[in-house]
Amino acid sequence: MWKWRTRAGCMNSSSESRICWRESTSTWRIPASARFVSDSRTQASPLIMMTRRVKQQRFPGKRRRFPRAMEPPSRRPSPTSGMSNYAARRKNSFATFVLMANPNYDNIRREKFLERLHSMMKFYGKLILPFVLILAGCAPLESEVKPAAPAPVVKLRPFSDKIKGTSKSYFHFISGYREELAGNLKDAESSYVQAVENNPDSSFLSTRLASLLVRQGKLAEAEKFALKATAQDAKNLEAHFVLGGIYASRTKLEEAVATYNKLLEMSPDHQETRLLLGSVYLDLGKYPEAVETLEAFVESGRRPILGRYNLAQAYAGMKKYDEAEREIFKILERQPRFIRGMLLLARIYEAQEKFDDAEATYIKAQKIEPDNRLIRSRLGQLYIRKKDMKQALEEFKALGSEEPDNVSVHRTLGFLNFDQREYQDALQEFRFVLARNPKDEMVRKYIARIYEELKQYERAEEELLELLSLLPKSLDGHIQLAWLYIDQKKWKKASDVLDKAEKHHPEEGRVHYTRGLALSRQKKFTEALPYLQRAVKLEPDREGYAYSLASAFYELKRWDDVEATTRKLIQKNPKHANALNLLGYMFSELDKNLDEAEKLLDRALAIEPENAAFLDSIGWVYYRQGRFKEALVKVQHAATKMPKDAVILDHLGDIYFALHDLENALLHWKRASEADPENEKLKKKIQKHFQKKNKPVM
């Protein structure tokens, strides 16, 4: 008969555990050297192997260093050699179970054992249950799960699981484990599900199933079983670890933080959890918490490269660039060819606008990995930021030759060529992109812009109509087509396009704003006003809308509304130069608040000192103040920048007339009239003073 004897304390990992088979004078034992072992460096899964220590009758006086099943096959005697028939039969029936973790062990013997064990479980059923119960209780299997982002699941030391199983649950578990080792994850899942159904209270089985589901990408189902495992055993550390990884992968970042913190409360020394917690804090943008967590991880000495890399990211997020650089330099001291660290260092330089240092870092990384396309792409983007479009174009051309089918590269090349006014090259790149993605809205818009620049308005119209046929609700497409018609003064077509846009986007301020500007272009300011007011109401933070509304009020001579709108805009943005100019110029036109007008225009010129409109406005304030010579200097400066502007030429004529220079006054008034032939007031002024060359008006 079978008897089970366990010495006091055998269930603890610190004491030797023996499982004995009492039969007359023969005893089989599990030596301490063959008990459960786990080597996390090899990432090997524990494997149940069958062996036994035969009574030392055939090998007297010779103690083996390893159980026979662990010896090389060449040194291992035949399973039945030198044994009685009785002993051979016992060899083929029951044996002592030992857990091993040697990844290089003979795969053939492993498969044979699993097949043998599977048949034994079918035949003996409940007889073998107590035996497996003790082994499972002493040494549960170690997970090899590697869940998705933010980092692979690192192996945990096995934790005891209180199992009250049935023969069926163990049968299905062993079946599932066998399929898992063979790579048949779907079959393994089916067996694990049946094991859980037969033993629904096992936290260990729920954890195992959750891990397997993670490997298959079934995160929602995995979360359900991981939660069940933690509810069944609140101290199941592996279940919490798996659950935290699932939350992080499903971007349930706050839940991941709570789970990892709970795990650290139970096991403060588990540094892998600390590393993953720091990564989640980074994703949440909680950089101070990330720094605190990752500093503790780095101090532990575990995986210093990855720890310092994440810590540098956290410092960079806090804009503590010196500390971030320090951490990366420490990494590069240990691993000078660590490309990820070099790329992060270059990005930190870019954030500080140290473009030369960033360029040098990218070039250094490129020398280490000349075929690294990411480095070349980053370097090209850096040249774009430096406004060195020629160099950027060279980098992306090289990238395009290396990746001829990379749509993203051709897209960027198109934008760069457009910026360099290489329109034909840009068209070629954009056509390549459209051949693979006809619905690329941005690319079609750029093609239409190219045709506009080339004055090929019909082809631009065709591109935009094609865009709207593919994307009927495209707001950008409708707006760009409307502006194409507005620039050609095709008011009816522009209005029809805006009607369609308003139908799809009734609450979109851009639609009403565009219609208001179209009416303003036609001098229909009264009709434009409601649309501009509607746009401002829908999007009150759009400064351009408010300024256009103030300009419409100015054209309608609604001075109080102009002042109220511009003052409100200046209050929101004290550096809104156009609003400062409009209010100051209005005061000069009304010949009031001239001192305030001068201050407003000085502020505008401090922002844009070469703006011709601002120079003309300050000159007109000087004219109103009687400072004619100063006015002449400012307005002449404005005229050199805008020599055909009717308002500037008219002001220049008035200033010359005030300086008793009627000849120059008439000359500039005539030029102003040529620039604005519909200005009747200007024509009357010329006619009135044409014969009075020696009499200034003022």
Distances (CA, A) of 595 to 183, 598, 624, 625: 85, 5, 11, 9
Distances (CA, A) of 413 to 136, 173, 443, 502, 534: 61, 56, 11, 34, 39
Counts of helices then strands in the chain (DSSP H, E)? 34, 2
How much is the pTM?
0.55
Least Cα distance to 286 among 321, 317, 247, 325 occurs for: 317
- Measured at the CA of 595, the angle between CA 591 and CA 601, to 5 degrees, comes to 90
Least Cα distance to 345 among 367, 368, 323, 361 occurs for: 361
The answer on pLDDT for 20 being more than 80 is no
Distance from C-alpha of 491 to C-alpha of 515, rounded to nearest angstrom: 10
Could you tell me which residues are beta bridge partners of residue 50?
Answer: 97
What's the start-to-end Cα distance of the chain, in Å?
Answer: 132
Residue 156 pLDDT class (50, 70, 90 cuts): very low
Element (H, E) at 523: none
Q: In this predicted model, what pLDDT tens digit does every residue of 615-654 receive, in sequence order?
A: 999 999 999 999 999 999 999 999 999 999 999 999 999 9
Q: In this predicted model, what pLDDT tens digit does every residue of 444-472 receive, in sequence order?
A: 999 999 999 999 999 999 999 999 999 99
Ranges of H-type helices in 556-679: 559-572, 577-590, 594-607, 612-624, 628-641, 646-658, 662-675
In sequence order, the 6+-apart residues with CB closer than 8 A to the CB of 12 are none
Greater confidence (674 vs 1) lies with: 674
Phi-psi region of 183 (alpha: psi -120 to 50; beta: other; left: phi over 0): left
Q: In this predicted model, what pLDDT tens digit does every residue of 86-135 receive, in sequence order?
A: 444 433 433 333 333 334 344 555 556 656 666 665 555 545 555 544 44
DSSP SS3 for 232 = helix
Could you tell me which residues are beta bridge partners of residue 51?
Answer: 96
pLDDT averaged over every residue in the chain: 79
For residues 586-610, average pLDDT: 94
Distance from C-alpha of 87 to C-alpha of 83, rounded to nearest angstrom: 6
Q: What is the largest CA-CA distance in the chain?
A: 144
Q: Within 13 Å, how many C-alpha atoms sit on residue 330's CB side? A: 16
Q: What single-letter DSSP state applies at residue 65? A: S
Q: What are phi and psi of 46, to 5 degrees?
A: -65, 145
DSSP SS3 for 98 = strand
* Cβ contact 441:451 at 8 Å: no
Angle 457-470/475-487 helices, nearest 10 degrees? 160
